[in-house]
Chains A and B, each alone.
Chain A
Amino acid sequence: MNLTDNPIFLTQKRLVHRGGVLAAIIIATLLGLSLFSGLVAYLANPTAFRFDSPEDAGRMFYGWIVIIEGVILVLGGFSRVSRALSDDRKAGLWDSNRITPLKPSQLVTGYWFGSGLREFYMAIAFAVIGLAVVLLAKLPITLWLGSQVLLLSTACLFGLIGLLVGMAFERSGILLVVAAFILCMFSLVAPGRMLPNFLLPIFGLNYLFQNPNHPGYQHQWDTPPSLFGLSLPPVILTLGIQFLVGFFLWRAAVRKTARPSQPLLLRWEAIALFAILVIIQHGLLWSIWQGHFPHIMLSGDRNYESRQSLLSAIHAATICLAIIILTCASPQPEVIRLESLRRGFKGVGPIFSRSAVPLAVALAVIAGTATFTQCIFSLDRIWNIVAIVCINLVELFVAYALLLEFCRVRHQKRAVGFLALWLFILWALPFIFALVFFDSDFAKLSMLAPGFHALDNPDTASSWDLLFLAELAHGAIIIVLFSAWFRQWKRLLAKTSTT
């Protein structure tokens, strides 16, 4: 079915048009023309401005057009898609559409491309004026083409995220995205080496806007990124990563449309997505240590300290990513309970195999392997670092999976609050004690501590024994958690048989 035959798309289009699009297009056009007129004014009287050349002026004016267009298309589009879907869900129209013979993919496509049409029209107005700016300033057409493709691809990615947010929440979730953008700002410390700069078009756009007449002006942005030493065009890398992530989001949206009780990510999808993102991230870091961590291989690098802590930052980001993926892929207890009713299992084996715990182990193995690549040639010196980081990753991920399911089974609707409480106690509270009592040894009791401590202090062997002891203690905590987790499951399944 073509998009123009898709009833969801046509209805969303009708609703957008009924709400009025002309005013929005005129606003976008006026904004764009005001920037265009700035360039015309410069060309008419260059001495009145502080630009070095028409190209510089064109870059500045087109840069503003791209920023405004990006905010409208990406954030506005995301908000519009998620709100359209959550409104239709609340009104019962989502279910009405689901019971028609339309395929889930047609429903998803209709909302994805139909709801944000107003923002798309505004973006077209900006793009046309942007093209005029680029041509008038004699900038390379690749700047316009590359930036527009990046904006469109990012808007599509955020449209898919908007769909999933709309399926899960009753609000637009725009604050969530703004918070994510702010968090991504941290990745600006190492532009060409941090994945968020490529998941969002941050590096790609900056790279396109670099002035070739000023080489080294902003060295961090004009050097193409490399994956395990292989140099790649940043626009292609960004589009590739966005396509891969979008592929999994698309599958999740279609699956949730067909059966809302299914998890966002299947187990193989969770493993594949995590592996792709973590391996790309470590690939981007490769050229710093080239497998000799902690010895920096970049000649003349003045940011030794910041490079040293980069692996810790990636370790933290990997933990965050694993938490998100485990949360998305972990099956709801009710789904497992219903399956136990259908198949009649009650033992620990079938529950364990369906839970997120095996997935947590798989993710830890992937993350450990990716970290291992950074010290593959220095393993004889720092094997203990690798061992501590890998054990710590397994403990963290398994503990999270057990806690998540324990809280979901025991506390049901209050699960999020109790999960946050347990994570605070096990992960954050020791750091607070360390600050309050001025004793850093308290911090080592946190489940997070061994991995970070090992990566931050790879040359000091003084506290290895303490770290290994801490790992053992955390292992004991996991056994207790497992016992509590299993008891909750048994109780739930016992209740099933007596309901």
Chain B
Amino acid sequence: MAEPLLEIDHLRVDFPDVIAVNDLSLTIETGDVLGLIGPNGAGKTTTMRAVAGLQDLTHGSVKIAGHDLAHEPEELKKRLGFMPDFCPTYDQLTATEFLDHFARAYAVPNRAKRIDECLQLTWLTEKSNALCGELSRGMKQRLVLAKTLLPDPQVLLLDEPASGVDPLGRIELRKLLLQLHDLGKAVVISSHILSEMSGFCNKAAIMERGKLVTFGTIADLGSRMQSRRMAVKWRVENAKASEILRNAGLKNLQVDALSATFDFDAAPDTLDDLLKTLIVEGVRVTEWRARGDDLEQIFLQSGARELM
């Protein structure tokens, strides 16, 4: 088992009229990319701020690579990169100067080289001499991400990193996160847009009203799911297809001329048999897959009710 990089133990954060985070426990290991999922107000940002030391804890503890936030905040800060959900930049500084400020603050060795690397990693080399105030929101987002990567932190907390980023930027962000995963970083990424997170998270934690509803690897959570929404498509209109599907006793079946969707909660073998029957009966199946992304299904079946 890999060494736990981030350990959150019974974390509780109180605001005057609400418990923002209630008894949250998580463990994240080297190379993990955790999707922190939940509707607005679920406590995702508060959790991240608490881990970063920006929010007082009522109870619980936070450890990064064994260093406790309460007792060794300086050590913890050296190992943590936090990217907030907005883009705090010095508008009158250039991108390089902005990164130089934080490189000095983190006492990064070979500052100039590291700044170039981070600019390159976030596709901002061409904008290195542009004033931060003149960058677009997406570029600022990437610049703040570059700032977060500067000290080469072991744990990265990214709060809604794709909000306000154009589709191309999102694709680039996804590539970058996969790179970080390959580099063995532990990444916690929060979002309420599940499609952003699918494809690179290997763990998911679903929060609602400050509480952890479910937590585990995507594979574990998937296996725990009671039912999956399946989608099937065929090439030529075929009356037998709808007949077979209707006779299979599927839940929430919706059939069109060339496609169908349904919930399936029996053993996987039964699903294989159903596909075999369709093919044997001459239905030219072109698509046979779980509909939507896994995270969305996990969320929908987690018990969390709201998703905004």
Contact = CB atoms under 8 A, between A and B. Distances in A.
Given A91-B89, A342-B59, 20 more contacts: A5-B104, A7-B104, A11-B90, A11-B97, A14-B93, A15-B90, A15-B92, A19-B92, A92-B86, A93-B89, A95-B84, A96-B147, A99-B77, A99-B80, A99-B82, A101-B74, A101-B77, A261-B56, A342-B58, A499-B19
B54 A95 contact: yes
B14 A341 contact: yes
A96 B88 contact: yes
B101 A7 contact: yes
17 contacts: A7-B104, A10-B104, A15-B92, A15-B93, A18-B92, A92-B84, A93-B88, A95-B88, A98-B53, A98-B54, A99-B82, A101-B74, A334-B16, A337-B16, A338-B56, A341-B59, A412-B16
Contacts of B107: 101
Given A92-B86, A338-B14, A7 B105 contact: yes
B70 to A, nearest CB: 12
Interface in A297-338: 334, 337-338
Nearest to A413: B16
Interface string B70-82: 0000100110101
Contacts of B123: none
Interface string B98-115: 000110111100000000
B64 interface: no
A101 B73 CA distance: 8
A10 B92 contact: no
B295 interface: no
Contacts, number: 75
A337 B53 CA distance: 20
Nearest to B75: A101
- Bin the interface of chain B by size: 20 to 34
B77 A100 contact: yes
B56 A259 contact: yes
A314 B235 CA distance: 95
A97 interface: yes
A360 B78 CA distance: 42
- Bin the interface of chain A by size: 20 to 34
Contacts of B104: 5, 7, 10
Contacts of B205: none
Interface of B: 14, 16-19, 52-54, 56, 58-59, 74, 77-78, 80, 82, 84, 86, 88-90, 92-93, 97, 101-102, 104-107, 147
Contacts of A5: 104
A15 B77 CA distance: 26
Nearest to A97: B105
Interface in A80-123: 91-93, 95-103
B210 to A, nearest CB: 10
Given A341-B14, A342-B59, A99 B53 contact: yes
Given A11-B101, A95-B88, A341-B58, A499 B14 contact: yes
Nearest to A110: B105
B30 to A, nearest CB: 22
Given A91-B88, A93-B88, A93-B90, A99 B54 contact: yes
Contacts of A101: 74, 77-78, 105-107
B22 to A, nearest CB: 9
A333 to B, nearest CB: 8
A100 B106 contact: yes
Contacts of A496: 14
B18 A499 contact: yes
Contacts of B14: 337-338, 341, 496, 499
Contacts of B106: 100-101
B111 to A, nearest CB: 11
A99 B148 CA distance: 11
A92 B88 CA distance: 5
A90 B80 CA distance: 23
A343 to B, nearest CB: 11
Contact of B105 (A19, A102, A341, A342): A102
A477 B77 CA distance: 51
B95 to A, nearest CB: 14
A337 B147 CA distance: 36
Contacts of B17: 499
B11 to A, nearest CB: 13
Nearest to B74: A101
Interface string A58-91: 0000000000000000000000000000000001
Contacts of A19: 92
Contacts of B90: 11, 15, 93
A374 to B, nearest CB: 45
B293 to A, nearest CB: 31
B4 to A, nearest CB: 21
Nearest to B86: A92
